[in-house]
């Protein structure tokens, strides 16, 4: 999932038609609920170049529908000509994009104007849907736009967390600090797999949505290996820290050791070191570190170093997909957590944690599947342009929506990334 | 005036006592009027490290009164403990200051909370004043705090201008685009002065307020020279541009030529190049360049290069002070322009433009006067710590308040600075 | 082959014993022949952080034998204690290494002293070999050291080329500018391969030397694909340039487009643009661009963009190894070119160009083979520590020695690298 | 004296004529003696961007005579066309200069070729002198070129010291480690001066050579002050260090405190911290710190902080010149030290240390004297272009030649500079 890079997708199959309007309204309203607890000031801060202000996310997801649907209709007049550049993320074929690292310097349009922009676009889209005049292609673009918005919803959570953390008083986004059904961590178990050839990737004959980088479905040879039954916990990671993991260059990739020293890393992002213990910053504010929860907000470098320290390694994305092939998402995904007023936070799950807890770093660098071909035009622009110096993450996180998660989903980030809900699963030969 | 560096001052004499409360209210309320046209989002943006968000200015000026007056009283409890670091600019002796370049990442406290902070402090200060219990020293600190706030009021104008300019649609701060009494530029005349010895600096026997860097008053030998009767106009500067001024290294200081190339300077800040002419961005939005107005928003490097191109030089700060010794501020200073709903902008003045139009770069690097000694304690902290690699500007600008301007006032900025209302006066041997 | 990072290896099998002394002398003397045409000044320049001075290469390869062989014997006294840090490349377990980017600031020891250092170590190693007292492990280390020196011999060529190019008058390293048997480029042909499972990597049961990253030999599934019969030529690459390849963002990876703009790339490294044609800088000085020669000194980004422009892609390293499985090195490798006084330069080969012409960028990011485990101790230190953000190159170049080249060899460099003899082979689905 | 920036001068008066040839030979041969102890490798290293390789100094000083004298004669053919750019320092009017920070990457021409270049130019200049055909202007240029070479001779010493210090084994340039007549430091005495008007700068009616920035001679008002009888010693500076001087932000200019932290300064350059004492690196290698010698290799920031810690200040350049008006250089200047085989190093002088020991930082930022006008043409190019963000140093150092030192001489460097022989004299109100 190209969250960080906004969009990387194409529908590979037909899309649900009957209640497209209801679907549209459900997804769009979630963005509004995510922004609801925030002030206009919260929504305009950009706390680092990789993150974007909430206001920008709200506008950019709307810009998508305006640009790729409404503007394709003859006679449509732009809501505001200046938004074309301002809320373009990186589509060169749609014109020049406003510099990414200056998104926090935009005080105009105001958050109120962005709300009006959303209303305007929503009304036109819904009217059009009601008139039942969309072509099949336009329906696909609409579904794509909603999946695109779901990606940005996850980014809203991670970016808001980072913004709030930048405030010296560490304010909370959510009032409740109760976790959902936290379980005790069970002992790690190792599932052994023989060498096998398996199908990998999205099956285009199925009607469900998938991004184009999930296909074509193809055969992969998986070597004999073992894979862990659950993700690594905070408690296990703490042992790595206490064993001097951050001080021992032999455990790190060369670039990772550079990153440790350049950034002064001593623990995962959002861990707060006290005299004899750690707190962690969550969307519900500061709480004591819960040892049984999966470790989160680690970079690829930290995941890799932890694995080396453990005498293990990270799984490949194919080993991961093979192991998770029958998994189903837990009950603790972003939209459900929000609905039940629980904290958006990974917790130790009672049964399976393959989907929807933390994004799991794999050892696979992000590359095209055999036979992959980018789509034509702006929507397909750059589908492969990020396939360099990024690692694949799998599984979705607690910040992902329940219908935006699946076994074939490929998220990817540079190895130094920490502000996503990223964790660790181990494998072995 | 150490605007950029917040504070550099000490009262040198007794202060007006009778209506200190009225004085306090007048100055404090101007800050509120300056912020009034802005949204909370406008007030939280930091468009470059040198500038600060309006919200920060509103809070920092209040922090000054809380820290140096209210907290000195036994029993006072801080409005919010976290503000001590957050709204400290650079006073090491008052504790650790929040990093300057991250002021735009603070969404909490909100602008509303900062308004409450101002109300709280204002009420306590005014009650105390009413009780007439302040010592002479406390009165001096109060006056100092009000002068400090006036400095920040000027910075609010320059920082807001920069923030609005960072928005792609170049919104206006003020609705009116009418200039105050703009005149035609008169022909430049040259006043010749013989070598003389004169007194320079603030006379401590006078009761008026001055910063400590304006004294001690002392004797300086001024050499024979000529000085221009008015500031350089946009029209004159345009000739320099059209003559290839920005392309000719022989006209520039070595560091200036580096700055031209590194920043891609082709014209003063806020000039917008069109096919055959220039517009300029003002606090009232975009308008055509007015050729008779004084050129503004130039760096020292540009002022120096223009002077060299003209076969002239910049005056020393002593030549300037000697020439301006009898000048009085015009009618077009910030508080008055605001009151009369005119644009805060330098304009060609009918008679004298020595005070209150543009800050005039002098050739004098910022240094201590003979016998200068910094004050003791936090208030005197660092009075001289900026005396390195900065140039003195004289005269005050259209963004200065009418009672915050005087002939001995020394403003200073690094030579690359352009976002202040800074212009050019010429001198010659 | 971890050239850039000096060492990444372990012998995987027994080594030739009988004439180890002759073998040692042959490899060591080649280094001396490579340096022979250079002055002491040429040998001490570091023209960029990635490259090292020739003097440093001569000393570091000697340090290897001293550190990992001679110093392991009791009673050995270091030739010079200071060399331990000075000529350590990055072995943390051997102590602190001198900063890589400051290698050009070392004027002492002089080149003469480094020659004495080589004599000293050579004499002791050869005496020891003659006494026939080495253990099997020590023999393995010796062979490893010689392979290590061969890697550095290739780096000497590439680094010298870069040093000479940094001189404004572009001096030649070799006097002759005659190419070896240059052929005309034949039309590109496409070999089609069906899906197959094949063995990849070095066969440990064979006695020949290989680095540990070439194993373990294991099975890989190769998908149906086509692969080009020869490398891309200068003439073909010129079409890409003339078609605006360097100006079209749609052809580039996102990081590649950044690199193009940051570095101002308009052509491969060492191409010199004239009004209507190109020259190229070679080790024999400046010559007209030969259109039939394989394009060389391109980054991964350029290789990838060229492939996209061609409607093709780069091969994976497995596709490459499968295609090249029966290839044998041509006659034009570094040691032979040098012996016959030909220019070290890639040229169009009459028959097969799989081995020993240009390093061919593959689409495979550098990763461990299944079951790979780094060796213990300093020699095995960090075998995998560079497996991040690097791409695999295959085939060896004209700067590789004839007995240092093989089908399983894995070279790797970051995608921005251009100063190696790196070229392009195309593949397709 | 614009050492760092190569040249900033113009003869202000007639020059010695009779033995111009002997004068030429004496100065030119000193450069050769300075380089004599160095290898070609030593001579080609550039250890930091501010310093230049010795080879470059040898060539650039020769380029000066070729460019400004020989090339002005019709029929002269350049020794090597490529030298024009390569050995140009910064004269824009003579064409494009080779990038300053890449001077260490030039291995061709070799040192031997540079020696030939010197021979060639020397022969032609001396022949011409013998023929007695130079115009008065050409004689002036010649004298200027010799003064220019003397500046570079001082830079050779400071740059060589820095190069040798960059080698891990800290090799010596001179064999002897005996100091010249080192004395014990006498107690500091304070000379009190009343307010006075005095003449400052070079008297153009005198025939001796001076740079144009030393004039015009003009009147300055000097305020009442005190000035120290000798420079600050290592022992006195050590007290500042032991009192926590480098840890106390209140003692430093704001930019100075930044420099301390960015560079990790804990002591002057070339001080080597041992457990309970300091060594210092000298041109004769490493020796124990001599407490009675003047402190040296401090930046302006350190000089200023030391003065503040002492409750004093630095003198202005006018106070300095007034105090030193009758001083004469000691016996320990570069040419004499070299002749008597003594170490080029500042030492405690028995009588007067105003001239020729350490360059003394003044509080004066480098600016033009009243009435200063740069000369026309290339020789006068940029006479004032460095008058920004630099501080004036006075007095000459142990690395200055005996006939290149005088009371009116103005050296200047940015405040962070430490590799010159720069020290501290105190003043007070």
C vs A contact (3+ beta-carbon pairs below 8 A)? yes
Comparing A308-322, B74-88, C88-102, which segment has the lowest mean pLDDT? C88-102
Query: Is residue C108 less than 8 Å (CB to CB) from chain D?
Result: yes
pLDDT of residue D18: 59
- List CB contacts (< 8 A) between B250 and chain D: 92-93, 381-382
Give the 3-state secondary structure of residue A190: strand
Q: Give me B296's structure tokens.
A: 């503004």
Closest residue by Cα to residue B226 from B427, B421, B9: B427
Confidence of residue B12 (pLDDT cuts 50, 70, 90): very low
Decide if A173 is inside a domain. Answer: no
Q: Distance (Å, rounded) from C-alpha A5 to C-alpha B426?
A: 52
Quick check: C386 pLDDT over 60?
A: yes
Q: Would residue D179 count as lying in a domain?
A: no
- C249 and C156 part of one domain: no
In contact, C87 and C118? CB cutoff 8 Å: no
CA B72, B73, B79 angle in degrees (round to 5)?
85
In percent, the amount of chain C with pLDDT more than 90 equals 75
Mutate to test the interface with D, among B92, B308, B370, B379 (most CBs of D within 10 A): B370
> CB distance D223–B221 less than 8 Å?
no
Q: Residue C352: inside a domain, yes or no?
A: yes
| CB–CB contact C41 D168 (8 Å) | no
Chains B and C touch each other (3 or more Cβ pairs < 8 A):
no
CA dihedral angle for residue B362, residue B365, residue B371, residue B376, rounded to 10 degrees: 110
CA distance B365 to chain D (A): 7
Last residue of a domain, one of C112, C131, C166: C166
**Mean of the per-residue pLDDT values for chain A?**
90
Is the pLDDT assigned to residue D50 strictly greater than 70?
A: yes
Is the pLDDT score of D227 beyond 50? yes
A42: contact with B, CB 8 A cutoff: yes
Across the range A374-402, mean pLDDT stands at: 81
Q: What is the pLDDT of residue D181?
A: 66
Q: What is the mean pLDDT of residues D408-417?
A: 97
Task: Give the pLDDT score at B88.
Answer: 87
Q: What is the pLDDT of residue B64?
A: 96
Q: For D62-95, how does the pLDDT look when each residue is reduced to its tens digit (9 = 90+)?
A: 999 999 999 999 899 999 998 988 898 876 666 6
Neighbours of chain A (3+ CB pairs under 8 A): B, C
Assign residue B311 the CATH number of its domain: 3.90.1580.10
Indicate yes or no: CB of C107 within 8 angstroms of CB of D42.
yes
The CATH number for A123's domain is 1.20.120
Confidence category of residue A181, pLDDT binned at 50, 70, 90: low
On whether both D214 and D356 belong to a single domain, the answer is yes
Measure the CA–CA gap between A400 and B6, rounded to whole angstroms. Answer: 46
| Listed residue (A115, A135, A147) closest to A73, CA to CA | A135
CA distance A208 to A199: 17
Average pLDDT over residues C74-100: 84
Instruction: Tell which of A134, A166, A198 closes a domain.
Output: A166
Please report the pLDDT score of residue B352 as a whole number.
83
Domain membership flag for residue A174: no
Mutation to test the C interface, candidates D105, D109, D111, D159, most C Cβ within 10 Å: D105
pLDDT in tens, B162-206: 999 999 889 999 987 566 667 888 899 999 999 999 999 999 887
pLDDT at D3 over 80: no
Residue B87, SS3 per DSSP: coil
CB atoms D220 and B225 under 8 Å: no
* Spatial distance between the Cα atoms of B346 and B358, rounded to a whole number of angstroms: 6
Q: D21 — phi, psi (to 5°)?
A: -65, -45
Q: How far apart are CA B134 and CA C108, in angstroms?
A: 71
Whether omega before C416 lies within 30 degrees of 0, making that bond cis, reads no
A111–B contact, CB cutoff 8 A: yes
Tally C–D CB contacts below 8 A.
85
Higher-confidence position of B313 and D352:
B313
Average pLDDT for residues B236-244, to the nearest whole number? 98
Which of A197, A255, A369 should one mutate to test binding to chain C, selecting the residue with the greatest count of C CBs within 10 A?
A255
Residue contact A370–C252, C-beta within 8 A: no
E strand segments, C31-138: none
B414 to chain D: closest CA residue: D389
Determine the residue among D37, D39, D108, D113 to mutate to test chain C binding: the one whose Cβ has the most chain C Cβ atoms within 10 Å.
D108
DSSP state of A49: T
What's the DSSP call for residue C81?
T
Each residue of B216-239: pLDDT tens digit?
A: 999 999 999 999 999 999 999 999
Read off the tokens for D320. Answer: 């300095």
Report, as an integer, the average pLDDT of A113-124.
Answer: 98
Question: Does B198 contact D at CB distance below 8 Å?
Answer: no
If you measure CA to CA, which chain D residue comes closest to B429?
D371
Considering chain D, what percentage of its residues have pLDDT values greater than 70? 91
Q: Which residues make beta-bridge pairs with B191?
A: B227
**Are A158 and A196 in a shared domain?**
no
Model pLDDT for residues A267-298, shown as the tens digit of each residue: 999 999 998 999 999 999 999 999 999 999 99
Which string of b and e fits B265-286 if b means at least 16 CB within 10 Å?
Answer: bebbbbbbeeeeebbbbbbbbb
pLDDT band at B92 (very low <50, low <70, confident <90, very high): low
The stretch A17-24 carries a mean pLDDT of 85
Q: By residue range, what is the domain housing residue D83?
A: 3-166
Please determine, for residue B151, whether its predicted confidence score (pLDDT) is greater than 90.
yes
Mean of the per-residue pLDDT values of chain B: 90
Are D111 and D229 within one domain? no
pLDDT for position B332: 73
Q: Looking at the complex, report in whole angstroms how far the Cα of residue D72 sits from the nearest Cα belonging to chain C.
A: 25
- C382 interaction partners in chain A (CB closer than 8 Å): 250, 254
Average pLDDT over residues C331-340: 83
- CB-CB contact of A217 with A206 (8 Å): no
Please choose, from the candidates A17, A37, A94, A19, the residue with its C-alpha nearest in 3D space to the C-alpha of residue A343: A37
Report the pLDDT averaged over residues B139-165: 96
| Length of chain A (residues) | 429
Confidence of residue A20 (pLDDT cuts 50, 70, 90): very high
Chains D and A touch (3+ CB pairs under 8 A): no
Q: Would you tell me which residues 316-335 of chain C have a C-beta closer than 8 angstroms to some C-beta of chain D?
A: none
pLDDT at B365: 95
Beta strands in C35-167 (DSSP E): none
Residue D169: both structure tokens together: 């084994």
**Between chain B and chain A, are at least 3 CB pairs below 8 A?**
yes
Q: What is the predicted pLDDT for the residue at D14?
A: 44
Q: Which of B198, B226, B255 to mutate to test the interface with D (most CBs of D within 10 A)?
A: B255
Q: How do residues C261-306 score in pLDDT, each as one tens digit?
A: 999 999 999 999 998 999 999 999 999 999 999 999 999 999 999 9
Do residues C81 and C202 both lie within one domain? no
pLDDT tens digits, residue range D299-317?
Answer: 999 999 999 999 999 999 9
Question: Is D105 an 8 Å CB contact of chain C?
Answer: yes
Residue D179 has pLDDT above 50, yes or no: yes
Q: Is the pLDDT of residue C80 over 60?
A: yes
Q: Is the pLDDT of residue D1 over 80?
A: no
Q: Note the pLDDT of residue A222.
A: 97
C271 plus C420 within the same structural domain? yes
Q: For residue D175, what are the CA distances in angstroms to D31, D159, D208, D343?
A: 18, 18, 36, 8
Quick check: bond before B109 cis, omega within 30? yes
Is the domain of B142 the same as that of B271?
no
Residue D224 has pLDDT above 70, yes or no: yes
SS (H, E, C) D170-221: CCCCCCCCCCCCCCCCCCCCEEEECCEEEEECCCCCCCCCCCHHHCCCEEEE
- Token pair of D155 as six digits: 């830079």
* Whole-angstrom distance, CA of residue C423 vs CA of residue C268: 10
The token pair that represents A176 in the structure block: 């409740």
Residue B363 contacts D, CB cutoff 8 Å: yes
CA distance B348 to D276: 67
Separation CA B193–CA B186 (nearest Å): 21
How many Cα atoms occupy the beta-carbon half-sphere of B387 within 13 Å? Answer: 22
Q: Do B335 and B244 share a structural domain? A: yes
C-alpha span between A325 and A403 (Å, rounded): 17
D180 within domain boundaries: no
Q: Which residues of C touch D105 (CB under 8 A)?
A: 45-47, 104, 163, 166-167
For residue D364, what are its two tokens?
A: 């004066």
Distance CA C187, CA C170 (A): 34
Instruction: State yes or no: ipTM above 0.85.
Output: yes
User: Is B196 in CB contact (< 8 Å) with chain D?
Assistant: no
Return the structure tokens found at D349.
């002088």
Rounded to an integer, the average pLDDT of D181-201 is 92
Q: Are residues D79 and D29 in the same domain?
A: yes
- What is the predicted pLDDT for the residue at B13? 40
The pLDDT value recorded for residue C122 is 98
Q: With residue A63 as reference, give the H or E element that holds it.
A: helix A54-68
Burial zone of D192 (CB within 10 Å; 0-12 exposed, 13-18 middle, 19+ buried): exposed
Strand pairing report for D359-365 and D422-423: parallel
Please tell me the predicted confidence (pLDDT) of residue A94.
Answer: 67
Provide the shortest C-alpha distance from residue A220 to chain C (in Å).
7
Number of structural domains (chain C) is 2
The region of weakest confidence among A58-62, A101-105, B92-96, C35-39 is B92-96
The verdict on C161 and C195 lying in the same domain is no
> How far is the C-alpha of B217 from the C-alpha of A258, rounded, in Å?
55
Whether D119 and D227 share a structural domain:
no
> Would B353 be classed as within a structural domain?
yes
Residue D230's Cβ-count burial label (10 Å; 0-12, 13-18, 19+) is buried
Confidence of residue C378 (pLDDT cuts 50, 70, 90): low
pLDDT band at B376 (very low <50, low <70, confident <90, very high): low
Name the percent of chain B lying above pLDDT 70: 91
Say what percent of chain D tops pLDDT 90.
75
Is the pLDDT higher at C61 or at C17?
C61
Q: What is the mean pLDDT of residues B287-310?
A: 96
Report helix, strand or coil for C332.
coil
Domain presence at residue B22: yes
Alpha helices (H) along D9-135: 20-35, 40-44, 54-68, 83-86, 111-131
For the beta carbon of residue A93, count every other beta carbon within 10 angstroms.
Answer: 12
* Of residues C259, B35, C375, the one with CA closest to residue A107: B35
| Contact residues, chain C, for A384 at CB < 8 Å | 253
More confident residue, B31 or B82: B31
> DSSP secondary-structure letter at C73?
S
pLDDT of residue D11: 42
Closest CA to C244 of C260, C232, C262, C263: C260
Asked if residue C175 belongs to a domain, the reply is no
CB contact under 8 A, D429 and B219: no
Q: How many other CB atoms are there within 10 angstroms of residue C222's CB atom?
A: 20
Structure tokens given for C107: 């004027």
D88 and D25 part of one domain: yes
pLDDT at D184: 87
């Amino acid at each position: 999932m190209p969250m960080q890079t906004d969009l990387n997708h194409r529908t590979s199959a037909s899309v649900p038609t009957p209640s497209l309007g209801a679907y549209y309204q459900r997804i769009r309203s979630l963005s509004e609920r995510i922004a609801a607890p925030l002030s206009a000031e919260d929504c305009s801060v950009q706390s680092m170049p990789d993150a974007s202000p909430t206001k920008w996310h709200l506008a950019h997801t709307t810009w998508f529908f305006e640009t790729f649907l409404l503007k394709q209709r003859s006679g449509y007049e732009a809501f505001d000509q200046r938004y074309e550049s301002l809320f373009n993320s990186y589509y060169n074929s749609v014109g020049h994009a406003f510099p990414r690292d200056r998104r926090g310097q935009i005080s105009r349009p105001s958050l109120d104007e962005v709300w009006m922009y959303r209303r305007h676009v929503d009304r036109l889209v819904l009217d059009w849907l009601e008139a039942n005049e969309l072509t099949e292609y336009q329906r696909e673009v609409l579904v794509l736009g909603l999946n695109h918005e779901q990606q940005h919803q996850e980014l809203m959570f991670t970016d808001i967390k980072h913004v709030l953390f930048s405030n010296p008083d560490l304010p909370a986004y959510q009032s409740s600090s109760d976790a959902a059904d936290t379980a005790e961590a069970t002992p790690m178990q190792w599932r052994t797999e023989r060498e096998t050839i398996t199908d990998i990737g999205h099956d285009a004959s199925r009607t469900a949505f998938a991004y184009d980088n999930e296909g074509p479905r193809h055969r992969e040879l998986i070597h004999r290996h073992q894979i862990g039954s659950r993700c690594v916990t905070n408690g296990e990671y703490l042992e790595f820290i206490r064993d001097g993991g951050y001080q021992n260059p032999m455990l790190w990739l060369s670039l990772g050791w550079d990153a440790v020293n350049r950034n002064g890393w001593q623990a995962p992002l959002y861990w707060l070191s006290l005299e004899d213990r750690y707190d962690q910053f969550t969307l519900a504010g500061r709480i004591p570190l819960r040892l049984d929860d999966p470790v989160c907000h680690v970079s690829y470098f930290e995941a890799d170093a932890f694995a080396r320290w453990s005498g293990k390694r990270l799984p490949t994305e194919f080993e991961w997909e093979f192991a998770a092939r029958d998994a189903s998402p837990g009950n603790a995904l972003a939209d459900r957590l929000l609905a039940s007023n629980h904290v958006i936070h990974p917790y130790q799950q009672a049964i399976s944690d393959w989907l929807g807890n933390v994004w799991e770093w794999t050892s696979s660098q992000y590359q095209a599947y055999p036979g992959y071909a980018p789509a034509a035009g702006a929507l397909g622009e750059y589908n492969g342009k990020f396939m360099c110096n990024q690692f694949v993450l799998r599984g979705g996180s607690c910040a992902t929506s329940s219908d935006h998660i699946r076994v074939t989903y490929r998220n990817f980030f540079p190895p130094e990334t920490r502000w996503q809900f990223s964790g660790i699963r181990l494998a072995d030969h």
